Structure formats: C-alpha cells, structure tokens
Amino acid sequence: MKKILIVDDDVTLRTALTRYLEKRDYVVQNAASGIEGLEVFEQDPPDLIVSDVMMPEMDGFEFCRRMRASREGQLVPLIFLSSRGDVEDRIQGHVLGADDYLIKPFEPRELIAKIESQLERSRRIHAEIIRLMQHAKVMPAETEKRHHPEPLPLTPAEEKVFWEVVQGFTNRQIGDRLFISPRTVQTHLSNILGKLNLDNRAQLVRFAFENGYQAPEEH
C-alpha cells in the first residue's frame, strides 16, 4: 500500500483526511508542523506528501525547500494545501518544487484525484529510470562504439542548465549552484526543451543518455 504523509497544524483536518485516505487503502503518517514533518520524512520516507502552507515554527514552503534539498526528497510528489489562493503564492510553491496546489476548502475527491495522478506520474518516472539503467547494462558494446555526440544547439548559459537538469537538480538547487534565480533557470529550461523538441525533464534526461551526452567533470 502507498504511504502518504500529511503535514498540517489543523488536527481536525488531519484526522478527517487520515480517515478518508485510510478508507481508500492508503497508509497515512501525520505531522503537526514542518519541523515534525521533516523528522517523519527522514525516519520513514513516504510515497507522497500533502502539506499545508501556513504553519507555525516552519511553514510549508520552508518544509518543501528542506525536503527537496535532500537526495531522498528529490522525486517524492508533494501537494500543497492552502487557504491562500494568490497567484504569487502558487507560483512560489511550484518554484520551490511542489507538484500541485489545492485551495482550501476543497472537495476530498479532488485531492484523491490529484494524489492518484501524482503517484502514477511517479511510477512512470521510476519505471523509466529502471528501463534506462537496464538498457545501459545490456548494451555496453553499443555504448562504447558510440561516436561523440553532436554539439548541443544551446547558449553557454543554457548548456550549464542542461547539465544540471540531467543530474537531477531542482530549479532551486540549480539556481543556487549557478547563482541565478529559479525563474531564470525555468526560462533557460523552457528554451532548451524547445530547441531539442522535448516536452519535459524526463525526456531531457532520456535524450542525454541515449545520445551519449555526459556532464563535464566539474559538474
């Protein structure tokens, strides 16, 4: 059964969501704050996280940032719940690494739909990673014979972002590593995907692997 971590300081909401999710055969973990959420996550990482934004001690944005900074937290889907529906709040949530954003009050069935969608997306990503790893093991000869790939049709700045994305870093982490803003990272990434005729990060990683692109040693 899939494990879901609920991080929210509203005990009534946590209890209601726990019951609702357990009836649908999910294992549910609970945390009353971002600090407690990090402790639970580090002890027993879940398959998906549902987190409030406005919480005392550590809000959901900071919780997300710290969770995404860990290797274990890179690919765990995270859905924000918030009574604040401002566009800037939603943008900040996505920039920090949230996968979805739901405004309170919400219909529980919509949350379930978002959870199932994110879990399926996570399953596909992990399946693709496994497929690529297996492909690398069964075709070593072909990999050795592969000629040097063509130069990337990217600007120097875009090429730096390309290598960072291939290595699995988030926009926030890339920004910190390259000393640029997450929005600038996203702009470069959009340009990269357009130039390479790709739709998303997963396709970009696959493109790099299948065409023999390897990050320079300094990356």
The CATH number for 104's domain is 3.40.50.2300
Q: Name the residue range of residue 159's domain.
A: 146-210
In 3D space, the residue among 54, 50, 162 whose CA is nearest the CA of residue 114 turns out to be 50
Please state at what angle helix 182-196 crosses helix 87-96, rounded to 10 degrees. 70
Please state at what angle helix 156-166 crosses helix 171-178, rounded to 10 degrees. 130
User: What's the CA gap between 147 and 149, in Å, rounded?
Assistant: 6
pLDDT at 146 over 60: no
Average pLDDT over residues 51-76: 88
184 and 98 share a domain? no
Distance of CA 67 to the CA centre of its chain: 10
pLDDT tens digits, one per residue of 71-106: 788 889 999 998 776 777 778 888 888 889 898 888
113 and 180 share a domain? no
- Please check whether residue 194 lies inside any domain of the structure: yes
- Please check whether residue 141 lies inside any domain of the structure: no
In 3D space, the residue among 126, 197, 132, 193 whose CA is nearest the CA of residue 162 turns out to be 193
14 and 108 share a domain? yes
202 and 114 share a domain? no
Q: How many domains does the chain have?
A: 2
112 and 78 share a domain? yes
pLDDT tens digits, one per residue of 1-15: 789 999 999 999 999
User: What's the CA gap between 40 and 218, in Å, rounded?
Assistant: 35
Share of the chain above pLDDT 70, in %: 88
pLDDT tens digits, one per residue of 154-201: 999 999 999 888 887 888 889 888 999 988 999 999 999 999 998 888
**The two three-digit tokens of residue 109, written as one number:** 């069935």
**β-bridge partners, 27:** 3
pLDDT at 47: 92
84 and 151 share a domain? no
Amino acid identity at 128: E
- Please check whether residue 75 lies inside any domain of the structure: yes
DSSP secondary structure code for residue 150 in this structure: P
